[in-house]
Every structure is written in structure tokens, then in C-alpha cells.
Amino acid sequence: MTELEKRIKAKIPGEDTGIEIKHSLCAICSPAFHCGLDCYVKDGKIIKIEGSPDWPGSKGRVCTKGQSNRDYVYRPDRIQTPLKRVGARGEGKFEPISWDEALTIIAEKLNEVKAKYSAHSVAFYSGHCKWYRPILHRLCYSFGSVNFGTDDSTCFKANDIANKLTFGAGAGPNTPKANTFLGWNYGGYYAKHMSVAGVRALKERGGKVIIIDPRHTPAVKNLADLYLQIKPGTDGALALGMGKIIIDNNWIDADYIEKYVHGYEQYKALVQNYPLDKVCAITGLNADDIYEAARIYATNGPATVNFSGCTQTHHINGMQSTRAIHALIAITGNYDRPGGNVPGGVSYLHKNGGFTTREKEFRESLRPHDQLRIGETRFPIWDEYCDEFHAVDLIRQLEEGTPYPVKAFVGLGLNAKMLPESDRLLKAMADNLDFFVDADLFMTHSAKYADIVLPACSSLERGEMKAYEGGFLAYTSPVIEPQFESRSDVEWLCDLARKLDVDDELLKAGYEACCDWIIQDTGLTVADLKKSDMPVKVPTAKPANKPGTYLAGGCKTRSGKIEIYSEAIAAVDAKYGLNPLPDYQDPLYDQNDPEMVEKYPFNMVAGVRLPHTQHSRLHEAPWLRSLRPDPLCEINVEDAKRLGIQENDPVEISSPSGTIYAKAKVTHKFQPGTLMMIHGYTEANVNNLIVSTHLDPYSGYPGFKSARCTIRKYEEA
């Protein structure tokens, strides 16, 4: 009996259950997780999902979202066949067509736009899904377009860029060796459930946990020794204020600064502008707590800082605030030190397995250089550090047609709902695109605007390659047949490469051949990986570099040191008005316009995470939707009382860019003046409230977490 058969026997006693347990992975949330699954399959149907105990990383754990995979895969609104639009854009009227017909039309239309305008007028875009990206990215370049873009324009990338500016490398928390965990924007259980065990262990061995979050979450309740309930978007001022306290008390690591830090004297002068009383006024915090946070972080080392996936950078001052937090790490000598923040690499698709692949080469070697990418001239820092167009600038380029028109769009999981002023973006697409194709599992609001809609299958219906920590690579097998006529994206993308007859034999050879090329240095092939239904150990994988080895070789920054003063920012043309030092700016726009302040007195934090939602994907999964059936706008008790709003009252929420409707949820978990909503609902799309010009000039990111709004009780006529 094999190990697997033994497990099935142990789990399901009896002889002929007809149930098989098959391994796969959950691709619903961030690529940093993608937990291993045991899928119970009977008669070709998934009947139950559990965490897979031996899977690297997750080791049997699976969250509420992962548990809902069966509900997700069998959602009744799955797109069943390729579709051709027969109604107006957005109307949702389509007729089924065959895959061959769909791909023929797509190839013809893309070539038409290429001939009439240029290949660059075709934009290729991916939503949150990462697994097919190397193929899509390469197809974009093989076709001749510079415009490959993704949700990176709103997700972790700004963090990554800030890290590269300051440290020249990553800055992940090294919690296992830390004595202090500074949980900046740390929601833990909600968005980063896999990190909680490490923080809990630190606490159990006597370490200190500080959490800085406007919202009182279970992480605060269960883990925090010190909690700072900060006003949203004022983190940069807090960091500079803490820097001043650390310097004034001489808690700095002077030798380390001397050896490794660039711009310390300028920074020391800058923080003089942030005395404690001023910082208290900006952040809404009290002086003792700020002082204590600075003292613990600087004196109870090694200390590590949590950086949120995206929250810190969802403010128009976000990248500078992140760099202001970096400065604390630098002056206390906590970078590249065990228990501090440490550099890390990527093996494949955002995952570090301790080995190298040729992913970057695979996607970038064919990049054209004869045109500017969307957003290139607007966000120079973004452009220097990211090999993608800026999706946030798409709305402008569509509307203005400059520096050249965008005329066709190939979207995989495009969700206008996730970008600012979504309805305006969809209108700009409807009005200006000659052709729009979208592939998705579900008929989304955005897909209704497409000319051709393609049915994609889920991770449980396909095979995909994935890296895991500890030196593992996996190539999964489908657990069930693809539903209806849905297909794996990489299959149809490679078919499209053949139809377009791009000059790229590797892409035309198919996904597995591409994977083999990418992993050629690992000592493994796809055939080797496919022999196992579990991740396979990579022979060339090495243990992670010991902290302390990076700085000695010089940082990968312009000065070779940790740059509090960024030479890369200093090199940007003065017309952009960027500051090489991480100074603070108010997160709300038009702060000096009394009319605006009076009309929109609230600060909306749009897109907080909850355990049962993943962006837009799970709002329609019945089991999870039942946990929160209506889109809710959370409002503080005192504000609600003042405005005569009670729990579950219908409310109207407006900003300078739009109005939406939801129900009120009255809370004491954050301070007055703030509103919070989950994003991704079609019927209450909070991103219609996010002004599309309200952007961080360094990253180009929208101010999702600091948007001017007003709210009132809504009486239906």
C-alpha cells in the first residue's frame, strides 16, 4: 500500500468508498501562500477539501478561503464556453463560439490593430493571478508590444521598489530570531494568517510585539504588548518622530551607520522637524506610546518590522512613509542582521525556494525598446524599477490617446473594480478600444465589456508549476476535468502564439517546454516533477544566505550603502518634484481647501481585508457570502450617532468622483473620522470613490486607504 493509500484508509475506513484523495494547490490568495490541498474526489467531482499535511510551507493548514475551493470551482456563474459579444459593450449579451473561432478572431483583431496603429497599441494585462504570467508577458513582447501590465500597479510592487531604493534588496521580517516585532500595518490573522505562528512564538519566548493600525484587530487583541491606534496614512510622520527620539536618546548604532548608511546627517536634520507634540497632533497618538514604541524597537533588539502587502503604500505618501520606516531599521543597525529585516531572493513567481530559475530572462529577453510604456513618463521611479506598464495610467492614456492610442486589450482576470474610478475606466475602454478580450472563470462586470470572453479553469482543473520554500518545485496535475469548455490559460495563450505566428519557437512549443527552459539550472525537468504529486526537492537548492553576508559585499544601491538619502530619486529630473529624503506629506488631497474639507470630512480606508474575502473573487461564493451577505460601510459609533445612522441602515457614501450605496456597520474598532469598506463588490464598488488622479508620485499607486468621503443615511424614495 502506498503512503497515500494508507492515508486514505486512515481517513476513510471501509472498502469501496470510491473516493480518491488527490493533491493540488489553492491559488485563491497570494502567491506567498498557495497552500497544498488534499482534494477528495468521487465520480469526477470534488466532495471535500482539506489542507495537505506534508506540503511545504502550509503543512496541512488551510484558511476559510481555501476551504471554500469547492464552492468557488462550482460557482454557478462559471463561464462555460468562449463567447462573442452581440449586444452593446457592458450589456452582457453574448453568443457561444468555439475555441478555434475565438482564437482566430483574436489573432485577426490584434494583427489589425498592429497594422493600423502599432503593436504597442495592444496592451496585455493580468489581474491578481500570477501562474500564467511568464507566458503572457513573453507573448506580449513576442507580439512586439511594450505594454505588459498587472495588478502589481496596486499591490506589493511599491514596497519592493521602496526596498530596492533603500537597501537594493528585499527587507523581509526575520521573526524567528527577533526580540521585538514592530507590526506596522499588521493585521496578521486576516491577510497574513501564515505569519501568526511566528509572532506568537516570539511572544512566548518573552519578545515584545508592537502593533500600529487604525483598526483594533484580533492581532492587537491576541498579540500586542503595545498598540498604537494611528490615524490612517500618518505613518510617515510617526516614523520620523520615532527617528528623532532614537537619535535624541543615542539609541542609534553609530558604527553601523558609519559603515553602511548613506544620508544619515541629512536625515538627522530632517527629523528635527518632527518633535513629539507635532507627531502626536498629526497621528492622533499619545506621546508616551510613541516614545515607548521607539524605545522598545531601538533597545530591545534584534528588532524586525512587518511591512504590509500593500496597505502602507495605498496612500499618496506611501512610498515615502515606507522609506521613513526603513530609516529606523538603518539607524538601529537592524538590516541584514539575524532577527532584523533581511534581504531575500525570488526563485520563481514571487517565491523564494533557495534556487535560481531563468524566469526573468524568459520573459524579458524579447522586450522591445522602441516605445514608451503606459505611465512611463509619468512615474519615472516606477519605470526604472518595474518591467511593466502602469495600470493606473491606463485610464488617462485611453482618454487622451497620448503619447499614442491604446486600441486593443488582452485581459486575463481584468477587474476594473480594483482600479480607481472603475466605471470611468470601463467607459474609457468601451469608447476607445477597437478590440477587447477577457479571460476569466466568471462573468465579471468588466468581462461584460469584452468583445470576446474566454472561459479559464481553476487551479484544481489544470497543471501548473510552482516554487516553495525549503527548495521545492511542484508541477500539479488536474484533480478534476476542466468544467464545461474551460481551459488552462497557458494552453490557449500558446495556441494564440501559434495563431499569431509570432517569431518565438519556444512559446509555440507550449507551456511545459517553456517551464523546462525556465528551470534548466535546477537539475530537474517537468517530466521529473510530474512523476510526483507532491513538490519535489530541487537538487541545486541552497540554504538561505545567512544574514550579515549582504552588506559586506555592498548594497545594490547607487552608493553601495543603505540609502536613507536616495541617489536614485535624486537623479530624477527636478520637474517631478521628488524628494530623496523620506519626508512626510499629508495623505489627503486638497487639505488646504476649506470647502473640500467641509464637504468630505471622512477618510475612507477602502479595501481592508477580512478572512472570508479575497478581492472580488469570493463575494459570489455562496458559503462565504453568507458570512456577510451585504456590502457594509463601517463607521465609528460616535460619528454614527451624530449622523443618526444605526446598524444596518442604508447609507450613501460620496466622494468627488462618485457615489455608492451600502449598509452601515457601526463599530468602536477605529477612531471617529474614518470609514472602512471591503473592495470588489459590483453593487457597491468603493473604487468609484477613489479619485484616479489621487496618486503617489513615486509609485503611481492610488490613495485607496486615504480617500475623502462623506456619508449620510439614505432614505429610499
> Under the rule (CB under 6 A), what is the footprint of ligand MGD?
29-30, 127-129, 151, 154-156, 184-185, 187, 190-192, 212-215, 217, 230, 232-233, 235, 308-311, 314, 412-413, 415, 418, 439-442, 444, 456, 489, 605-609, 611, 613-617, 679-680, 686-687, 704-705
Question: Which residue is at the shortest CB distance from Mo ion?
Answer: 155
Per CB under 5 A, the list member of 8, 27, 119, 155 interacting with Mo ion is: 155
CA–CA distance, 150 with 178 (Å, rounded to integer): 34
Q: Which stretch binds Mo ion (CB under 5 A): 4-12, 155-163, 379-387, 416-424?
A: 155-163
CA–CA distance, 708 with 292 (Å, rounded to integer): 31
Binding partner selected for residue 149 from ligand MGD, Mo ion, none, CB under the kind-specific 5 to 8 Å limit: none
Binding partner selected for residue 297 from ligand MGD, Mo ion, none, CB under the kind-specific 5 to 8 Å limit: none
Residue-wise DSSP of 297-339 = HHHS-SEEE---SSGGGSSTTHHHHHHHHHHHHHHTT-BSSTT
CA–CA distance, 200 with 204 (Å, rounded to integer): 6
Q: Give whichever of 32 and 534 is closer to Mo ion, judged by the CB atom.
A: 32
* Relative orientation angle of helices 318-331 and 264-271, to the nearest 10 degrees: 110
Nearest one of 504, 206, 558 to 384, comparing CA atoms: 558
Least distance from Mo ion to the Cβ atom of residue 129, Å = 11
**Strand-strand pairing, 562-563 and 261-262:** parallel
Binding partner selected for residue 680 from ligand MGD, Mo ion, none, CB under the kind-specific 5 to 8 Å limit: ligand MGD
Q: Give whichever of 147 and 308 is closer to ligand MGD, judged by the CB atom.
A: 308
Contact 406, 147 (CB under 8 A): yes
Nearest one of 243, 248, 251 to 267, comparing CA atoms: 243
Q: Give whichever of 63 and 155 is closer to Mo ion, judged by the CB atom.
A: 155
Q: Give whichever of 437 and 676 is closer to Mo ion, judged by the CB atom.
A: 676
Least distance from ligand MGD to the Cβ atom of residue 575, Å = 29
Q: Residue 197 to residues 12, 194, 461: CA-CA distances in angstroms? A: 30, 7, 31
**Strand-strand pairing, 602-606 and 707-713:** antiparallel
Least distance from ligand MGD to the Cβ atom of residue 693, Å = 16
CA–CA distance, 559 with 439 (Å, rounded to integer): 44
Q: Which stretch binds Mo ion (CB under 5 A): 153-161, 381-389, 396-404, 620-628?
A: 153-161
Least distance from ligand MGD to the Cβ atom of residue 416, Å = 8
Q: What is the dihedral of CA 242, 307, 566, 330, to 10 degrees?
A: 50
Least distance from ligand MGD to the Cβ atom of residue 338, Å = 24
Q: Check residue 39 for interaction with Mo ion (CB under 5 A).
A: no
Binding partner selected for residue 686 from ligand MGD, Mo ion, none, CB under the kind-specific 5 to 8 Å limit: ligand MGD
Q: Give whichever of 82 and 471 is closer to ligand MGD, judged by the CB atom.
A: 82
CA–CA distance, 705 with 34 (Å, rounded to integer): 26
Build a one-symbol-per-residue string for 282-321: x at contacts with Mo ion by CB under 5 A, - elsewhere. ----------------------------x-----------
CA–CA distance, 663 with 632 (Å, rounded to integer): 5
Q: Give whichever of 374 and 524 is closer to ligand MGD, judged by the CB atom.
A: 374
Least distance from Mo ion to the Cβ atom of residue 332, Å = 29
Q: Give whichever of 551 and 675 is closer to ligand MGD, judged by the CB atom.
A: 675
Q: What is the dihedral of CA 394, 395, 396, 400, to 10 degrees?
A: 100
Least distance from ligand MGD to the Cβ atom of residue 184, Å = 6
Contact 44, 38 (CB under 8 A): no
Greatest extent of the chain over all pairs of C-alpha atoms, in Å = 76
Asked whether the bond before 539 is cis by omega within 30 degrees of 0, the reply is: no
The pair phi, psi for residue 485, each rounded to 5°, is -105, 20
For 600, the grid coordinates are 468630505
CA–CA distance, 268 with 236 (Å, rounded to integer): 15
- At which residue does the C-alpha cell 467531482 appear? 45
Q: Which stretch binds Mo ion (CB under 5 A): 72-80, 148-156, 174-182, 696-704?
A: 148-156
Binding partner selected for residue 142 from Mo ion, ligand MGD, none, CB under the kind-specific 5 to 8 Å limit: none
The whole-angstrom distance between residue 233's C-alpha and the CA centroid of its chain comes to 18
Q: Check residue 28 for interaction with Mo ion (CB under 5 A).
A: no
Least distance from Mo ion to the Cβ atom of residue 319, Å = 16
Q: Give whichever of 33 and 227 is closer to Mo ion, judged by the CB atom.
A: 33
Least distance from ligand MGD to the Cβ atom of residue 30, Å = 5
CA–CA distance, 505 with 517 (Å, rounded to integer): 12
Q: Give whichever of 376 and 489 is closer to ligand MGD, judged by the CB atom.
A: 489
Least distance from Mo ion to the Cβ atom of residue 155, Å = 3
H or E stretch at 261: strand 261-262
Binding partner selected for residue 415 from ligand MGD, Mo ion, none, CB under the kind-specific 5 to 8 Å limit: ligand MGD
Least distance from ligand MGD to the Cβ atom of residue 453, Å = 10
Q: 213 in helix, strand or coil?
A: coil
Q: Give whichever of 155 and 691 is closer to Mo ion, judged by the CB atom.
A: 155
Q: Give whichever of 423 and 567 is closer to ligand MGD, judged by the CB atom.
A: 423
Burial 188-202 (b: 16+ CB within 10 A, else e): bbbbbbbbbebbeeb
Q: Give whichever of 222 and 371 is closer to ligand MGD, judged by the CB atom.
A: 222
Binding partner selected for residue 214 from Mo ion, ligand MGD, none, CB under the kind-specific 5 to 8 Å limit: ligand MGD
Q: Give whichever of 187 and 547 is closer to ligand MGD, judged by the CB atom.
A: 187
Least distance from ligand MGD to the Cβ atom of residue 216, Å = 9
* Relative orientation angle of helices 235-248 and 276-283, to the nearest 10 degrees: 160
Least distance from ligand MGD to the Cβ atom of residue 19, Å = 26
Binding partner selected for residue 411 from ligand MGD, Mo ion, none, CB under the kind-specific 5 to 8 Å limit: none
Least distance from ligand MGD to the Cβ atom of residue 700, Å = 13
The whole-angstrom distance between residue 17's C-alpha and the CA centroid of its chain comes to 41
Q: Check residue 158 for interaction with Mo ion (CB under 5 A).
A: no
Q: Give whichever of 138 and 561 is closer to ligand MGD, judged by the CB atom.
A: 138
For 62, the grid coordinates are 488551510
Question: Which residue is at the shortest CB distance from ligand MGD?
Answer: 607
Binding partner selected for residue 615 from Mo ion, ligand MGD, none, CB under the kind-specific 5 to 8 Å limit: ligand MGD
Q: Give whichever of 457 and 506 is closer to ligand MGD, judged by the CB atom.
A: 457
Least distance from ligand MGD to the Cβ atom of residue 326, Å = 15
- At which residue does the C-alpha cell 509619468 appear? 378
Q: Residue 213 to residues 85, 159, 182, 234, 666: CA-CA distances in angstroms? A: 45, 18, 11, 11, 18
Binding partner selected for residue 614 from ligand MGD, Mo ion, none, CB under the kind-specific 5 to 8 Å limit: ligand MGD
CA–CA distance, 246 with 249 (Å, rounded to integer): 5
The pair phi, psi for residue 504, each rounded to 5°, is -155, 90
Q: In one letter, which amino acid is 397? A: Q
Q: Give whichever of 107 and 588 is closer to ligand MGD, judged by the CB atom.
A: 588
CA–CA distance, 445 with 648 (Å, rounded to integer): 26
Least distance from ligand MGD to the Cβ atom of residue 456, Å = 4
Contact 145, 368 (CB under 8 A): yes
Q: Which residues bind Mo ion (CB under 5 A)?
A: 155, 310
